[in-house]
Amino acid sequence: MSEGERRNMAPIERLIRELSRLPGVGERTATRLAFFIMRQPPEFARGLAGAIVEMKERTRLCSECMGLTEEDTCAICRDPRRDPETICVVEHPQDAMAIERTGAYRGRYHILHGAISPLDGIGPEELKVAELMRRLEGGRAREIIIATSANVEGEATALYLTRLIRPSGIKVTRLASGIPVGGSLEYVDASTISKAIEGRREF
């Protein structure tokens, strides 16, 4: 949108246009959101706008794990109680947040910011792979848990990282694939069932 176009547009139309650029937000949803914001007290609009700008301006990448932080290193990397010998490698910051919500993991993270996807022109150079290798060289890591997605790109990334890291003697593991908890076999797809059989464990 040019500056001229922007000036000629009514503020409500401009907001609808900006909101439509968000993923999963069509013009209809954008209109509903814009009119909702319109009906709220001015503090609502100021709070939301402030949060957007502040997030973008104040958030940067942790120099250690490449996660999001306001400081040089993030709260997890600064926490001495987190096991520095275990690093869980994920694609996105929100993946680390999902693992954190379980409370089941006490190690550190490394955020790749994507997965290898030749079709989209994303190779290891576009990801935070060099940062991971530098971290492993100087660090105390003894196990790398690869927690990339269970899709083609995630698997390709896992394979690539495994080959890269294994020569250094560090143990490389992968999250288990299988039947989701609460999942009825009837509704689980064939490849998940195959993975679950392949990865079956003794009682």
Least distance CB 18 / its own copies (angstroms): 4
Least distance CB 31 / its own copies (angstroms): 6
DSSP 8-state symbol, 122? B
Q: Which residues bind its own copies (CB under 8 A)?
A: 1, 10-12, 14-15, 17-19, 21-25, 29, 31-38, 42, 44-59, 68-70, 92-94, 97
For 106, residues 6+ apart whose C-beta sits below 8 A from its C-beta are 81, 82, 83, 86
Least distance CB 12 / its own copies (angstroms): 5
Least distance CB 74 / its own copies (angstroms): 9
For 95, residues 6+ apart whose C-beta sits below 8 A from its C-beta are 111, 147
3-class secondary-structure state, position 60: strand
Alpha carbon separation from 183 to 95, 103, 108, 199 (Å, rounded)? 21, 21, 29, 17
Using only C-alpha atoms, what is the Rg of the chain? 22
Query: Quick one: 40 or 191, whose CB is closer to its own copies?
Result: 40
Query: Quick one: 15 or 89, whose CB is closer to its own copies?
Result: 15
Query: Quick one: 25 or 159, whose CB is closer to its own copies?
Result: 25
Query: Quick one: 76 or 150, whose CB is closer to its own copies?
Result: 76
